[in-house]
Amino acid sequence: MLDVGADARRSARTPAAGPPLDFQSHLAALEAQGLLVRVDRPINKDTELHPLVRWQFQGGLKEEQRRAFLFTNVIDSSGRRYDIPVAVGALAASPRIYAVGMGRPVEEIEAAWVRAIANPIAPVLVDAPPCQAVVIKGEALRGPGKGLARLPVPISTPGFDAAPYLTATLCVTRDPDTGIQNMGTYRAALKATDRLGVRMSSRIGGAGGYLHWKKHNRKGEPMPCAIVVGCAPVAMFTGGMKLAVDLDEMAVAGALAGAPLRMAKALTVDLNVPADAEIVIEGLIDPDLLEPEGPFGESHGHVALEDFNMSMRVTAITHRQAPVFASIISQVTPSESSVLKKVAMEPLFLTHLRQQLAIKGVRRVVMHEPLSNLRKVIFVQFAHGTPRSEIWRGLHGAATLLADCGKICIALSEDIDPTNTDAVFWSLAYRSNPIEDVHVAPHRSAGHGPKSRPREEDSGLLIDATLKHSAPPLALPAREFMERARAIWQELQLPTLAPQPPWHGYSLGDWSQTWDVYAERAVAGKWQQSGEETFARRRAGLTPETPVREVEGKKD
């Protein structure tokens, strides 16, 4: 089991039933469930660590096969060994790992988020927090091997990234006018042992921390910032959510936990930080001067090139007696970053369409994950027979909920599995008439993406690919025959199957009892009886391929 050290064990807090309330309790829960891989051999954080974990996303493994990794023997390219272990994939390598952090099954996560946002529980302040057991400030921040250089910060995209990056962050800032804190997950590049380059998204629908910086910019005052690395997963999960800017994320996290979360006063900046955090980096962000930051492999699937971003002077680093450094896999999706968003954002989109917009017939919302990173392509599944007006309302609702989400929205019928893009393309090919079922929506935000071309604004594409009339059955053997054949397959010990819907035929409305009879006779070896009946129905004067129903009328 994970040895978190005596002090950490005393402060590790997991309720009798519910989510773990600190990061190391979460790691222990993952290990107990067989979801954590411990790596004790030397691993280079600069060249090997992230690529090793990345293989479980790029190597064809099933989602349920992904694991959290704990590296206990971390070195760098100079041969230096770090005392602090590194955990990667521990927040959301898979939905199941995310669910452990939430303390509830995946199917209950949607309702938990909805309740928590509606009923936040304010945090409580405590003294002598575990996150301040060790304090590094002043001259201890400056010089070779000191300050930030003491932390085993991995390089996320070796070969392209300009520096090691903090990725699994909660960046705490405070609105200077209202006093309300905001927590967001923003990347931070190591620039010096006491300086970070911090990127807080400035696009429409971007970072709450950026809005705070704009106010500090107008006032000409440095912005206090505390970057938390590793804490209760329910708190970490709020960083990637697009919560209202006036809603304290720690209060939402408290509601997810079912009790107030513990906070403590930071030592050198006027902010409150999670008391049970692993590591906290305190500092001041310049209100005016920006520093080149990047390149860095981004979640939109391209390397983000240099931008001028925020420059943060570190004033203190505090941590537990025996901390664990947390990092996440981002870049090309699927990734840990995309799972973090997907598990919570899909239910929120569904709730928005069903409850806020009261759209009828919505069954499911799926944000396309591979390569496109959730934001750009969204599938909305509807019940058969849903009025077209509701389908179009649903498409517009999905396309406009967040400024950077829903560039391409496709409506599908409930027999189409939105996670199977082959089935989606089949639906597009046979259930949509572009001149009637495609709408191009102008004047969208350019959103999240590479900046290699001018992008003053973008446009959107809405497609109704639902079944609009009855159709012949899907041309695969009926379910009973496929299931019988699968049993034989397993009996023969052939390679393990991973069925992806559709894997059996089913009716789509255009069928008759007569054809059922023909099919039943065929599998019973009585096909000649059907042939005798069709022989009696022969007609002259017709062109081959003339539909029988056009001559005899519709079947039954």
Mean pLDDT in residue range 240-268: 89
Residue 513 has phi, psi (to 5 degrees) of -65, -35
Please identify which residue in the block is written with the tokens 């302040």.
Answer: 125
- Cis peptide bond N-terminal to 176, omega within 30: no
Per-residue pLDDT at 348: 84
Q: By CB neighbour count within 10 A (0-12 exposed, 13-18 middle, 19+ buried), where does 532 fall?
A: exposed
Give residue 16's pLDDT band: very low, low, confident or very high (50, 70, 90).
Answer: very low
- Checking if the pLDDT of 12 tops 60, the result is no
Look at residue 348 and give its three-state secondary structure.
helix
Per-residue pLDDT at 17: 65
Look at residue 184 and give its three-state secondary structure.
strand
The pLDDT tens digits for 148-182 are: 999 999 999 999 999 999 999 999 999 999 999 99
Instruction: Give the integer Cα–Cα distance in Å for 151 and 317.
Output: 10
Instruction: Give the integer Cα–Cα distance in Å for 214 and 486.
Output: 61
Name residues whose C-beta falls within 8 Å of residue 140's C-beta, 6 or more positions apart in sequence. Answer: 146, 147
Mean pLDDT in residue range 267-281: 98
Mean pLDDT in residue range 253-265: 96
- Checking if the pLDDT of 508 tops 60, the result is yes
> Between these two residues, 447 and 212, which has the higher pLDDT value?
212
- Checking if the pLDDT of 15 tops 60, the result is no
Mean pLDDT in residue range 458-472: 93
Please identify which residue in the block is written with the tokens 């996320």.
Answer: 156
User: What's the distance, CA 187 to chain centroid?
Assistant: 16
Give residue 136's pLDDT band: very low, low, confident or very high (50, 70, 90).
Answer: very high
The pLDDT tens digits for 298-331 are: 777 788 888 999 999 999 999 999 999 999 988 7
What value does the mean pLDDT of the chain take? 90
Mean pLDDT in residue range 118-142: 96
Please identify which residue in the block is written with the tokens 């058969």.
Answer: 384
- Checking if the pLDDT of 205 tops 70, the result is no
pTM of the model: 0.84
Residue 323 has phi, psi (to 5 degrees) of -80, 165
| Token pair of 555 as six digits | 């079947």
- Checking if the pLDDT of 555 tops 80, the result is no
Closest-CA residue to 325 (of 110, 527, 517, 50): 50
Q: By CB neighbour count within 10 A (0-12 exposed, 13-18 middle, 19+ buried), where does 534 fall?
A: exposed
Closest-CA residue to 232 (of 101, 90, 67): 101
Would residue 358 be called left, alpha or beta, if left means φ above 0 and alpha means ψ between -120 and 50 degrees?
left
Instruction: Give the integer Cα–Cα distance in Å for 331 and 341.
Output: 14
Mean pLDDT in residue range 50-79: 93
Look at residue 469 and give its three-state secondary structure.
coil
List of domains in the chain: 6-327 (2.30.110.10), 357-464 (3.40.1670.10), 479-552 (no CATH)
